[in-house]
């Protein structure tokens, strides 16, 4: 299915964007207007669609910069929902909260979804679609939300805003426990990460296709978008074999991915634009820090060096 036609969108490249630089993080210093403008001037050279994860100060500034600078971006806006249920099986020890904390989270989540609706209406010319959460139903999450509550948030968003509504999740839950949710969303959003599943670069593209097709074949009447797919460039061995990641492998995977999704007309948000040092553990080789197509100083990695031949910080 041509996902662009289904969503009524012009064809274009898409990327996940979070602009937190060295010394910045979501709980502390946020990127300034000028820093976001610099990032978007880089990204507008090759991308039409941006995915934003949360209705926070950073996302608000992104929307403001796009409007003020009259930039040609369309945005998937997300509401980041937090745990409403304990997940005692979270592999890194998170996911367990008191009942008081869970009650506070439920109030927070509803407010976040409402804020997303409000911003979707305020920036209707920029926001092209909405997501009511990110990886909140997969077995290993530390912010587990029951499927029934995600359905409530989908219905709330569809009632309050005109944009199509989805939920972003790893491909596996869509094959079983998210079937009731699939009936409610306007389109399905999947994440596929062969390198997290110990796949070698030579088998990665076929694995991504298998992940996508398994979901698409289960829901033939729904458009299926890829909202995360990418390749890390470093690893300390936590969840990813260090020998599987490099800038060379990232370039191979990105090229193969783009060839496939462009031919198949699948809207695909590459993960991610820039490395972010605030993520994961303090270990500098933590893989969560190294998914960007650009380094934290905004210089291009190997995958982008041909397209971005000039020094971007000049």
pLDDT in tens, 234-270: 999 989 999 999 999 999 999 999 999 999 999 999 9
pLDDT 10s digits, 106-120? 999 999 999 999 999
Answer yes or no: are the C-beta atoms of 298 and 274 closer than 8 Å: yes
Q: Which of 173, 291, 172 is nearest to 229 (CA)?
A: 291
Taken in order of first residue, the domains within the chain and their CATH numbers are: 3-78+110-132+143-305 (3.20.20.80)
Which whole number is the average pLDDT over 84-103?
A: 94
Which whole number is the average pLDDT over 51-74?
A: 98
Q: Which of 176, 294, 174, 281 is nearest to 230 (CA)?
A: 294
pLDDT 10s digits, 184-210? 999 999 999 999 999 999 999 999 999
Q: Which of 102, 103, 115, 131 is nearest to 225 (CA)?
A: 131
User: Hey, which residues does 130 pair with through a beta bridge?
Assistant: 77, 165
b/e sequence 224-243, b meaning 16+ C-beta within 10 Å: bbbbbbbbbbbbbeebbeee
Q: What is the mean pLDDT of the chain?
A: 96
- Compute how many other C-beta atoms are within 10 angstroms of the C-beta atom of residue 182: 17
Q: Is 141 left (phi over 0), alpha (psi -120 to 50) or beta?
A: beta
User: Hey, which residues does 228 pair with through a beta bridge?
Assistant: 191
d(CA 258, CA 80): 27
Which whole number is the average pLDDT over 166-195?
A: 98
Answer yes or no: are the C-beta atoms of 81 and 111 closer than 8 Å: no
Question: Can you give the pLDDT at residue 296?
Answer: 98
Question: Can you give the pLDDT at residue 310?
Answer: 56
pLDDT 10s digits, 284-305? 999 999 999 999 999 999 999 9
How far apart, in Å, are the Cα atoms of 34 and each of 37, 51, 294?
5, 19, 18
d(CA 247, CA 157): 39
Question: Can you give the pLDDT at residue 92?
Answer: 84
Q: Are strands 268-270 and 14-16 parallel, antiparallel or unpaired?
A: parallel
b/e sequence 64-81, b meaning 16+ C-beta within 10 Å: ebbeeeebebbbbbbbbb
Percent of the chain exceeding pLDDT 70 equals 98
List, as one string, the DSSP characters of 208-227: HHHHHHHHHHH-TTS-EEEE
In which element (H, E) is residue 166 found? strand 165-170
Examine the pLDDT at 309 and tell me if it is beyond 60. yes
Question: Can you give the pLDDT at residue 95?
Answer: 92
Percent of the chain exceeding pLDDT 90 equals 96
Structure tokens at 20: 């937190």
């Amino acid at each position: 299915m041509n996902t662009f036609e289904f969503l009524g969108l012009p064809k274009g490249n898409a990327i996940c964007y979070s602009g937190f630089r060295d010394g910045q993080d979501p709980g502390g210093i946020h990127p300034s207007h000028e820093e976001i403008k610099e990032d978007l001037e880089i990204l507008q050279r090759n991308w039409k669609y941006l995915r934003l994860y949360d209705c926070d100060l950073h996302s608000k500034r992104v929307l403001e910069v796009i409007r003020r600078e009259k930039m040609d971006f369309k945005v998937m806006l997300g509401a980041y929902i937090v745990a409403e249920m304990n997940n005692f099986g979270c592999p890194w020890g998170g996911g367990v909260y008191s009942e008081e904390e869970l009650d506070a989270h439920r109030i927070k989540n509803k407010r976040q979804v409402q804020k997303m609706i409000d911003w979707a209406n305020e920036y209707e010319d920029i926001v092209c679609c909405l997501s009511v959460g990110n990886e909140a139903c997969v077995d290993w999450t530390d912010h587990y939300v029951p499927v029934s509550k995600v359905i409530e948030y989908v219905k709330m968003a569809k009632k309050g805003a005109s944009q199509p509504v989805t939920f972003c999740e790893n491909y596996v839950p869509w094959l079983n426990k998210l079937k009731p949710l699939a009936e409610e969303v306007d389109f399905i959003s999947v994440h596929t990460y062969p390198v997290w599943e110990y796949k070698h670069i030579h088998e990665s593209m076929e694995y991504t296709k298998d992940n996508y097709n398994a979901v698409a074949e289960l829901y033939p009447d729904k458009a299926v978008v890829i909202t995360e797919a990418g390749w890390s460039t470093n690893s300390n061995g936590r969840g990813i074999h260090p020998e599987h990641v490099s800038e060379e492998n990232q370039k191979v995977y990105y090229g193969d991915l783009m060839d496939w999704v462009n031919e198949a007309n699948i809207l695909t948000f590459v993960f991610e634009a820039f490395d972010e040092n605030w993520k994961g553990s303090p270990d500098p080789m933590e893989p969560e820090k190294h998914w960007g197509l650009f380094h934290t100083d905004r210089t291009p990695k190997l995958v982008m060096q041909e397209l971005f031949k000039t020094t971007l910080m000049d």
